[in-house]
Each structure stands twice: as C-alpha cells, then as structure tokens.
C-alpha cells in the first residue's frame, strides 16, 4: 500500500459539521421583532408577587417593540413612578404596585393599556 501524502492544513478554521448554518453571521439567526407604533399594541398591566420573594411588582406585558424602545419606555415609567424596574423577556417590571398610575401614563403615551387581575 502506498501512503498518501497530504499537505498539512490549519484545522482551526475547518468546519466539520454545523447544524444551524454559518455561525460567522449571527445576524442571520436574530429573530426579527416588529416595532409597532404604540396605538397598535395591546398591553396588560398587572400587579404580581409570583417568583419575586413576596415583593410586589407591576408587570406590563404584550409589547411588540425592539429592546431599545422598551429601554427608553422603562426609563420614563421608572421616573414617573419613582421606583426601580427592569425589562425581562419583552415585558417591563416596575417595583411596587403602580397598576392604575401605569395604565394612565401608558394611555397618555398612546398605548392601549388595560389593568388585569387584582390590584391591592
């Protein structure tokens, strides 16, 4: 048997198997999020304690907006309520029970917002 002579190759850039295509372009796999205007979004405002260690937070769900838009809105809402908050999984959480105040603020900003569940 004759031995085959192969040229040495750089193995660091060689892809043997890739299940989801080319990982060099992560933008190709980014999920598109529609950035709808406020008057086309139906939001639900609800005070909850689930998974928060007994602390009450007001959760606003139903957003169809980009992360930058949510971050700007979060900043406005936190300032209006005088409380902390965060964006989690396309929802905004504000510390404390501010259900009625947030419904009023969101309505003034042009969103279709409804209070949901028990408050207080």
CATH number at residue 97: 3.30.780.10
Residue 95 lies in a domain: yes
**74-96 tens-digit pLDDT:** 999 999 999 999 999 889 999 99
- Give the count of domains, the chain: 1
Phi, psi angle pair for 73, to nearest 5°: -65, -40
- Which ranges of the chain have pLDDT less than 70? 1-13, 15, 17-33, 118-120
Rg (CA), the chain: 24
Q: Domain residues for 83?
A: 34-115
| pTM of the entire predicted model | 0.69
pLDDT at 112: 93
Q: Are 74 and 86 in contact (CB under 8 A)?
A: yes
Residue 1 lies in a domain: no
Buried b (16+ CB within 10 A) or exposed e, 36-60: eebeebebebbbbeeeeeeeebbbb
**34-43 tens-digit pLDDT:** 778 888 889 9
Residue 29 lies in a domain: no
């Amino acid at each position: 048997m004759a031995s085959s002579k192969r040229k040495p190759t750089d193995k660091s850039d060689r892809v043997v198997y890739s299940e989801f295509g080319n990982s060099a372009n992560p933008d190709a796999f980014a999920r598109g999020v529609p950035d709808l205007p406020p008057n086309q979004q139906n939001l639900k405002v609800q005070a909850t304690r689930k998974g928060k260690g007994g602390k009450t937070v007001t959760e606003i769900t139903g957003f169809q907006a980009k992360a930058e838009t949510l971050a700007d809105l979060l900043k406005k809402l936190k300032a209006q309520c005088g409380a902390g908050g965060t964006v989690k999984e396309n929802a905004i959480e504000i510390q404390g029970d501010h259900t009625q105040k947030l419904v009023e603020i969101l309505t003034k900003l042009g969103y279709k917002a409804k209070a949901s569940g028990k408050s207080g």
